[in-house]
Structure 1
Amino acid sequence: MNKLIFCLLFFAFLSNASAQFDANYDESKVPEFKLPDPLKTFNGKKIRNSKKWESRRRPELLNFFTQNMYGEVPGKLEISSVDIQEERKSALNGKAVRKQVDLVFKNHGKTLDFTILIYLPKTEESVPLFVGYNFFGNHTITEDVDVVISEAWARNNPSFGIINNQLTEQSRGVRTNRWCVDKIIDAGFGLAVIYYGEVDPDKDDFSDGIHPLFYIDDQQQPAANEWGSIAAWSWGLSRAMDYFERDEDIDESKVVVFGHSRLGKTALWAGASDERFAGVISNNSGCGGAALSKRRFGETVWRINNSFPHWFCKNFRNYIKNEEALPVDQHELIALIAPRPVYIASAEEDKWSDPKGEFLSALYATPVYNLYGKKGIQQTEMPELNQPVQNTVAYHIRTGEHDVTAFDWEQYIKWAQKFIQ
């Protein structure tokens, strides 16, 4: 009998655990919640103009997100050296210039470097630029055989020929569909990409990547309020921006940071924390990115911190199954980018990323943009599929799944041509 009771209790436990892993995709089960007002300070004072936003509200919001979600970078570290691996004046069938640039960092006896692959249209003028991370190496975004294959750790993906956590030639060009390099160059923009694993390998291990360069004494991992991987990847984007300011071929005043999925979360945080970026594009970024946390739809604060405990600072775990206690939400992350342009994009089949929650964040960030006389999202209902709303705050939801498509890039380019000035 004791064995029977034990078995019943054990299966009940498994059933309950399984239920906890089930994501909610039913709007009727979204809990009631009240969003914090981006134009009201934590102590209840109303913000009525951009000057007060910048002096009072923006700093306290930025500090909260830093200390309780993404984590603080524990110090400053400048580029130790820049190594131009190669520069070719006639790439992509003669229409572009290609550069492969190594940025090297040294601190506390440790060294880290990462490579920026840059394509620029052939012109005598400095050009605007999209910059973003890729998931499986710079060589995956193009079939260009001269792009160097990274030796950094990578997540295994046998379909791409990635085994034993090592990138290989077999994966060259497997993600060309996500980057539309020719469309970008033809539109007069440059493109810079970085393999995110070179800045911080995407695993729950803070013994490699950029973190150890900042450790003090016998420190083994970041403190509870210090940076997780998303903030580390954002840090890397800012260091790339340091380089762009030196490169005369790039117009550093017109650099747009782009990211998809977890790297969309990264792009939003980079744009919020580094005001040098002229614009931000978040593609299917979901929980911890553009989607409202309080909706508990699709991926949740609990799930993301359990599945990827290294992405955020440990303090964020205080809000696991406790989203109602958050004094902020992701619409205020988007508001931190104001008055610079921001584009939030969703996909119809990507319920995990909560398209409605992403749209609502763009909508409820709009009052802050209005302080600057900028136009945001004015309609309260989501737009029709494949019908973008393109203002300073832009949004679209397209047909399809969690991915980056040619349709997405066509909208981003059109929007950037109008709003990145």
Structure 2
Amino acid sequence: MKTVKIKIAIFLILLSIAVAVHAQNTPPVNFTAEQDHQQMMKQLGIKTLRPGPNGDATAPDHANYDEALANPYPDLPDALTGKNGKKITNAMMWWKQRRPEIVEDMEREVYGRIPANVPKVIWTVKVTDKERVGFYPVIAKQLIGHVDYTAYPLLNVNIDMTLVLPANAKGPVPVLMMFGRSTLPAPAQPNPADLEKINDALKELLTKDHPELKTIFEQYPAYKPIPEQSPFGPSGFPVVKGDPPTASQLIANGWGYVLIDPSSIQADNAEGLTKGIIGLVNKGQPRKPEDWGALRAWSWGAARALDYLETEPAVDAKHVGIEGVSRYGKAALVTLAFEQRFAMGLIGSSGEGGAKLHRRNFGEAVENLTGGEYYWMAGNFMKYGASDATSGAKTANDLPVDAHELIALCAPRLTFISYGIPEQGDAKWLDQQGSYMATVAAGAVFKLVGARDLGITNDYKTEKMPPVNTGLLNGELAWRQHDGGHTDAPNVKYFIAWANKLMHYGKEGAQPAK
């Protein structure tokens, strides 16, 4: 009998090894977006989804832009009432009881859960370069975050990141991490004498392979195949139109910055869900309903970049912020909400799935994110766009949480909600008013945990959005609608000044002001 049990145990061990090896060698599933969408609907028992409104105002199924019809579900979930029905009356109750409840609902129903078995990331420096941002010398590093893929060698994920720090800082500096393409600001080039040698050699090689070029080079003796590059315009002076670029403003104020490429973490499409970091963890298989979507995956990547920044002596890792615009504004808000090591955020034009209230019927709707852009969210989020499903038809009003609670998860850290104006391209589709309402409602939590909100009441039903270019910037929660388009660039100088004041940083940013 004992021998039989041993044989069974050995068999089960060998079987588990065989299953693991098979899973490790199974190629990733290659679904189209439609196929992946359909398999998630099948998992959730959804037969029919309501179509999302059209962004074209001239289309017959266009989105609503009538404020009289914008609030079909006027009552938001109370961020300060627990699931047991009791009021949350002090900070300890928020941290111990209510905040974990909101996090659970957000993860399960909206953005998805980060798996416990996500592989580690090892950062390597690809390039270190002495460069200039405007007039300021900087140290720029291009880094690669290699994700451990030993559990599934068929997928390889490498996170692209650039770190730029002021060269003359007297101590660790605050850093703003921005979602975007990872590029060096101004790669250093050879000095004029060395560049001349390179050009002479190039001309010689080109003439050798293409003799007909000799006449052209003789006709234009001053021509250089590789011209000297300059940060200045043709006049020899800097070209300045409006505010300097965001990078220049940050460096000029003694900050550093990071550019992290979201597409190197997780593709911005549904076809990529069985690849990238989501696919790597799932060994190339489709998601389950509670699995993370792209927004949460991008936020995970930002947190791994922060892991690296914590090892950089020149970085003040206690004062690292996160920034993004549009879909990356959504990702920045999700990052700030869930990753509490980030000290601040500049959340630009984030709309539905970001700062906009789900319950608002104005512009982009829940149904748009349960349709074509479902891959940003957890699969479970699709239930709230279903008109026919085994669990019944659900709407935005059935969501257990809303955007004001996502903003509230950022408290008491510095949270700057930024928008532009429709006339300049920051479309009504984003629902600036609905985002302002969410920010107003979130303020109650900021105050409860000892921070300052917008400095107004928290009555989201009656508070009026301030005029354009009028910022509410006296608290840890801030709002400003600028007169530009789909960008947060016009608000950057206000963000830096606001953050410096609240962090008690001097202009250089290297040491706290006394």
Q: Structure 2: how far apart are the matches of 1:328 and 1:178? A: 39
Q: Where in structure 2 are the equivalents of 1:12-411 lying within 5 Å? A: 21-30=61-70, 31-77=72-118, 79-92=120-133, 93-107=135-149, 108=151, 109=153, 110-122=155-167, 123-134=169-180, 137-139=181-183, 142=185, 144-145=186-187, 180-205=246-271, 206-216=273-283, 220-320=285-385, 322-349=395-422, 350-379=427-456, 380-390=463-473, 391-405=475-489, 407-411=490-494
Q: Report the Cα offset of residue 178 of structure 1.
A: 9.8
Q: Structure 1: how far apart are the matches of 2:187 and 2:66? A: 47
Between 1:221-230 and 1:30-39, the stretch displaced more is 30-39
Q: Structure 2: how far apart are the matches of 1:178 and 1:198? A: 28
Q: Check 1:54–1:180 CA distance in 2 against 1; reply closer, same or farther (3 A cut).
A: same
Q: Structure 2: how far apart are the matches of 1:27 and 1:106? A: 50
Taking only the aligned residue pairs, the percentage that are identical comes to: 31
TM-score by length of 1: 0.83
Q: Partner letter of residue 245 of structure 1?
A: E
Q: Structure 2: how far apart are the matches of 1:145 and 1:89? A: 8
Instruction: Please say if residues 136 and 251 of structure 2, whose CA atoms lie closer than 8 Å, have aligned partners that are also in contact.
Output: no
- 1:414 maps to 497
Q: Secondary structure at the match of 2:260?
A: strand
- 1:6 maps to none
Q: Structure 1: how far apart are the matches of 2:327 and 2:61? A: 19
Q: Structure 1: how far apart are the matches of 2:117 and 2:309? A: 18
Q: Partner letter of residue 130 of structure 1?
A: L
Q: Structure 2: how far apart are the matches of 1:75 and 1:222? A: 15
Instruction: Please say if residues 136 and 252 of structure 2, whose CA atoms lie closer than 8 Å, have aligned partners that are also in contact.
Output: no
Instruction: Please say if residues 131 and 193 of structure 1, whose CA atoms lie closer than 8 Å, have aligned partners that are also in contact.
Output: yes
Q: Report the Cα offset of residue 308 of structure 1.
A: 1.0
Q: Secondary structure at the match of 1:357?
A: helix
Between 1:186-195 and 1:199-208, the stretch displaced more is 199-208
What RMSD, in angstroms, separates the aligned Cα atoms of the two structures? 2.4
Q: Secondary structure at the match of 1:193?
A: strand
Question: Looking at both structures, which has the greater relative contact order when contacts are Cα pairs under 8 Å and sequence separation is at least 6?
Answer: 2
Q: Structure 2: how far apart are the matches of 1:378 and 1:191? A: 30
CA deviation map 1:327-350 (0-9, x unaligned): 211000000111111011112213
Instruction: Please say if residues 166 and 255 of structure 2, whose CA atoms lie closer than 8 Å, have aligned partners that are also in contact.
Output: yes
Unaligned runs of 5+ in 1: 1-13, 148-172
Q: Secondary structure at the match of 1:415?
A: helix
CA deviation map 1:334-383 (0-9, x unaligned): 00111111011112213111101111111100111111222102332211
Q: Secondary structure at the match of 2:334?
A: helix
CA deviation map 1:77-113 (0-9, x unaligned): 3544221111123433552111111111113224311
Instruction: Please say if residues 265 and 288 of structure 1, whose CA atoms lie closer than 8 Å, have aligned partners that are also in contact.
Output: yes
